[in-house]
Structure 1
């Protein structure tokens, strides 16, 4: 009698933010990427965008979100409710992993963290947040911060293959880097960081100087032709609801024994040994 087939684990909701910084000349915009520590339980040693699991407490900040309601956010994601938590998780993870806080001060201006006092205060708050000594909601309330959820644009949706032990249902977003803040990795979960344009990051992947998983490099491929962050944000904001389908890849072995990843039943196939290239 055959063993009953084990059901794949349910994917956990997650959110990732692709932070773009425009160049002072006509060069392509840079994207902030962090390198995860090799000891990380997920994606160790890989270059990724800041992101992580959606926390149950994220939705507590619903009343502090600017220009977006839960009903509107949920409609954009195609879910009944709770969509705003993904936007909030993006902003929280961006502060935790990149030190950028996409928030507005009491006057409605984007937070200015350039001065020594602000850098020290928010650096200490970030350290406490990453140590679990304070919640993101407590930071926002004590500093009277309104989350700039209107500055994020939803751009893609990836669900981890069913064969994987750890699965995530991840929504990707784009945001422009605040001009008066400096991005830096946390030195814990992430051990290095860099600003790099999409084409250069893909070249580094092809030359095996940066390791990435398919959702990362496929999002880079999508962004490579945008001249600046506003063009990318405008494009994705203009898409109608339901225009971003989930990508549910599957892993299989080809006839030659090489490992392949199919992005969808009729979609392109990736050769995982040449991950920066796509054949249809």
Structure 2
């Protein structure tokens, strides 16, 4: 696993001063790294609204919590079946189905990119006709299953690849058990900034995003920094999509000293001993 640099400290006020007792139970969530080429891959990023209760002001990938309706078995689906995803994601089939559906739904809600099409061979090329349905999904007036059925679309699970599994440290009152996915931007579609959860959205190479963080132009959470570093080691979108990943849960631990709070990852010295 990529190690965080020693200078990676957590922003003042981001980590609570006390740990909830008992710790909050993590909520299942999905996030998607949208990538595009040709040439050096770019990834789609959003800077969250400062007032957001979780990761306010941070630069992140699109994503969010699983909705109970994401587990609807009536969702039209093509690609690897839930059993395949369950093995990769380290969970039961019902949760695996819900995570994949949440990944597709959240990507559409937050970026306007829709990983679906009329059949297993084609994709939606223009999502503009679904703008109203997108708003209805955000407000939970519409379920993903209902949206796909009404428009004669099938979810393209074959376009997603599993990448990582991060769990929020126990100090946080809001915790997430988040599966990270990666997907290429479909031909003809564009990612936008039409979301109330972000103040800006843009494409960047992973190297540029990491440099922006290093020079203080953006804030990154540890999972985002690590993932961008991993993506930066791939020279093409095809290489990213072909990367085989192991999806063990990464549960960072927070350590504090007189100057700042830092995160220890499972491969860091002192992780096992940290309280």
* TM-score in terms of structure 1 length: 0.84
Alignment check: 8 A CA contact 1:68 1:149 kept: yes
| Contact 2:82 2:97 (C-alpha < 8 Å) held by counterparts | yes
1:16 aligned onto 2:31 = yes
CA distance in 2, matches of 1:197, 1:50: 16
User: Any gaps of 5 or more consecutive residues in structure 1?
Assistant: 271-280
Aligned match for 2:125, one of 112, 125, 141: 112
Q: CA deviation at 1:63?
A: 4.4
Mapped contact 2:75–2:145 kept (Cα < 8 A): no
Residue 265 of structure 2 is matched in structure 1 by 263
> What is the rounded CA distance, in whole Å, between the counterparts of 1:79 and 1:133 in structure 2?
28
Choose the corresponding residue for 2:247, options 236, 244, 249. Answer: 244
Partner of 1:232: 240
The separation in 2 between residues aligned to 1:61 and 1:203, in whole angstroms, is 43
Aligned-pair distance for 1:90? 0.5
Tell me by how many angstroms 1:107 deviates. 7.2
- Pick one of 112, 116, 121 that aligns with 1:103: 116
Q: Look up the match of 1:84.
A: 97
Return the alpha-carbon distance in structure 1 between the equivalents of residues 195 and 61 of structure 2. 15
Residue 48 of structure 2 is aligned to residue 36 of structure 1: yes
List structure 1 segments (4+ residues) > 6 angstroms apart after TM superposition: none
Q: Secondary structure at the match of 1:32?
A: strand
Contact 2:24–2:175 (CA under 8 A) maintained in structure 1 = yes
Could you tell me how far apart the structure 2 residues matched to 1:67 and 1:55 are?
21
Structure 1 residue 164: deviation in Å?
Answer: 1.0
Give the whole-Å Cα distance in 1 for the aligned partners of 2:36 and 2:167.
27
1:3-35 CA distances to partner (integer Å, 9 max, x unpaired)?
Answer: xx9221110100000000113xx3x11100111
Q: Check conservation: 1:21, 1:176, Cα contact below 8 A.
A: yes
TM value normalised by structure 2: 0.86
Q: CA RMSD in A?
A: 1.9
Asked if 1 retains the 8 angstrom alpha-carbon contact of 2:31 and 2:179, the reply is yes
Q: 1:199–1:224: 8 Å Cα contact kept in structure 2?
A: yes
Among 150, 158, 161, the residue aligned to 2:158: 150
Which stretch has the larger CA shift, 190-199 or 52-61?
A: 52-61
CA contact (8 A) 2:120 2:156 kept: no
Which one of 213, 216, 219 corresponds to residue 211 of structure 1?
219
Which blocks of at least 5 consecutive residues in structure 2 are unaligned?
1-19
Residues paired across the two proteins, number? 251
Deviations 1:201-224 (A, max 9, x none): 000011111111111111001110
